Amino acid sequence: MRRSANLIQVNAQLIDTETGGHMWADRFETDRRNLPEEQSEITSRLAKTLNVQLIEAANSRLERERAIDPDARDLVMRGWAFFNRPFSSTTMQEAQRAFERALEIDSRSVDARIGIARTLINLVAGGWSNSVERDELRAEQLLLEALDRDASTSDAHEMMGLLRRFQNRLAESRIELKTAVSLDRNDASAFRNLGLTLMYLGQPEAAISQIERGIRLSPIDHLIPIAYSGLGFCHLLIGQVGDALEYLRKAQALNPRLYFIHFGVAAALGLKGDLRQARAALAEGSNSNQKLTRWQHGGQTARGKPIPSLRSWQRRRCMPGFAKQVFPMSDLTASTRRRVHFEAGGTAGAAGGFGSWK
């Protein structure tokens, strides 16, 4: 620990005691005047980071020593190791396979149920599901079983909240996510997801504070690009286009495979009047998911139902045409879903289509 004026800097290292090898290091900084408030967040961030690193190290050891006959706990650990890697269809599918094998070995495992549900929901969120309704139905059943066995599990409530958001059951989503953060005040992912649900409820200002807290609690995990994209969409909703573009660009740089981030960048560029780059961002987003037939981020569902709270808020507060730029499924008729155009400053400019909406 080092002190300089009002700044406190903590350097942490993780060393493998068996080999003496250096596994991880990080630096934490905070203002001494806010130390009582931020101490728990620093501790949480350290614990979260160490947990991810230890899971990955344990998985590597399992692969070396027990690959032939792993038990259920080994497989759950392996599943989380895959899950914590950069967000992609491959990592989610690998994680699901490990959790599925764990559940086959131990049919009572709550952790395996939550792991499978989490990967199924993330496959839906990423646009990688082959059957959205089937995956959502199975995820819900697994989460209900997990909650029946242990209702105090923060992760199960968080995943149920995320699932309810995909189902456009936003009030239930908020309840589940608030339950998750009350059970675990250091659950960074739950805070971020609560923020996204608040955004879809038409409360982007409240959403920003929740997402920011989630980022402070765990600033380097694999889902951080989604958190930054959420901040970007929130700033777009309140008309702060410059800030929005900065956050969306940051998310894009961290994980360019997530197609909806490119669409957000396109919306921001369209509002700034840069239609050439907006078209390029739209094309990049479409190319990143060849199976894209609908908007799948956040509260948008396979059924294409409107989100009343967000739609009403957009009509009251958003700049003209913004609702149809960033949330094209939320308030479009069947005829206009087939193609989306940007409107910047009241002037319509074609920025390319989002593909075939079904």
User: Can you give the pLDDT at residue 111?
Assistant: 93
- Choosing from 9, 35, 55, the residue where a domain stops is 55
**Based on C-alpha coordinates, what's the Rg of the chain?**
21
- How far CA 195 is from CA of 211, 297, 325, in Å, comes to 5, 14, 21
User: Can you give the pLDDT at residue 64?
Assistant: 44
- Choosing from 55, 70, 99, the residue where a domain stops is 55
Q: Residues 125-178: pLDDT tens digits?
A: 878 898 999 999 999 999 999 999 999 999 999 999 999 998 999 999 999 999
Q: What is the pTM of this model?
A: 0.69
User: Can you give the pLDDT at residue 35?
Assistant: 57
129 lies in a domain? no
What is the pLDDT averaged over residues 322-339?
Answer: 36
Burial class (CB in 10 A: 0-12, 13-18, 19+), 315: exposed
Range of the domain at 349: 222-358
332 lies in a domain? yes
185 lies in a domain? no
Range picked from 50-54, 253-257, 336-340 for highest mean pLDDT: 253-257
13 lies in a domain? yes
Residue the block writes with tokens 């980022």: 215
180 lies in a domain? no
Q: Which residue has the higher pLDDT, 261 or 296?
A: 261
Q: Residues 171-211: pLDDT tens digits?
A: 999 999 999 999 998 889 999 999 999 999 999 999 999 99
195 lies in a domain? no
Structural domain total, the chain: 2
95 lies in a domain? no
194 lies in a domain? no
Q: What CATH number has the domain bearing residue 274?
A: 1.25.40.10
Q: Answer yes or no: are the C-beta atoms of 33 and 7 closer than 8 Å.
A: no
